[in-house]
Amino acid sequence: MKKLLFGIHNHQPVGNFDWVLRFAYEKSYFPFLEIARDYPEFKFALHITGPLWE
């Protein structure tokens, strides 16, 4: 059996515009997590860089 490690890396540079962060969150980061929540058998690694936590 072959296995695949699916990894997601979310990053925005320090000092990026707030509207860019908001746009990325609304159009990319959040929709992915909403869909992934519906498939608990789908295993993946999620890495979120510091600027996105602020």
SS3 49: coil
> Can you give the pTM of this predicted structure?
0.78
Let me know: does 52 contact 11? Beta carbons within 8 Å.
Answer: yes
Query: Residue range 40-48: average pLDDT?
Result: 96
**Domain residue extents for the chain:** 7-16+24-53
According to the model, what pLDDT value does residue 54 have?
81
pLDDT of residue 23: 97
How many angstroms separate the CA atoms of 6 and 48, rounded? Answer: 14
State residue 33's pLDDT score. Answer: 96
pLDDT in tens, 2-32: 999 999 999 999 999 999 999 999 999 999 9
CA distance 47 to 54: 15
Render pLDDT for 27-39 as a digit per residue (tens, 0 to 9).
Answer: 999 999 999 999 9
